[in-house]
Amino acid sequence: MCKGKSEHTNEGSASVPLEKLTQPGILLLLVKDKSHGYELIQKLNQVEYIDGELEAATVYRTLRRMEQDGLIESRWEHGEFGPARRQYEITDYGRETLKHWAGGLKSRMKQIETFLENYYGLMD
């Protein structure tokens, strides 16, 4: 049923070309409570605003980058149970950025709405 399509790994253009809300999602969770990577992965894969599933490797990689950027801070926590964990907390700069991103996402949402109005307007 499908036509010409992709030679490389596009896989029938199955997914909308719009990134996941990984960084905003992590900041939103860390505003509520400090946490570590493994727990964040599970929480992110339960919330409604994450599209599909986030891979563990993606989250760990993103956390390290966000710490480099000063959005979050970590320290090792050697608890009595299980392996040591890297405990993350949001920074003041992270809180500012989250606020800033929320404003940007509001605009982005309106732009998508405009796109859809434009599209459905044509399809009448």
Residues interacting with DNA, by CB under 7 A?
Answer: 8-10, 17, 19-23, 36-39, 52-58, 60-65, 79, 81-86
Among 57, 81, 92, 124, binds a second copy (CB under 8 A): 92
Determine contact, residues 40/89, Cβ cutoff 8 Å. no
Q: Which does 60 bind (CB under 5 to 8 A by kind): a second copy, DNA, none?
A: DNA
Task: Round to whole Å and give the CA distance between 56 and 98.
Answer: 22
Q: Which is nearer to DNA, 119 or 124 (CB)?
A: 119
Smallest gap from Cβ 24 to DNA, in A, equals: 9
Task: Round to whole Å and give the CA distance between 110 and 10.
Answer: 27
Task: Round to whole Å and give the CA distance between 18 and 31.
Answer: 24
Task: Round to whole Å and give the CA distance between 26 and 116.
Answer: 28
Tokens of residue 97, six digits: 């950025």
- Per CB under 8 A, residues contacting a second copy are 2-8, 10, 13, 15-19, 21-25, 28, 31-32, 47-51, 68-71, 91-93, 96-98, 100-102, 104-109, 111-116, 118-120, 122
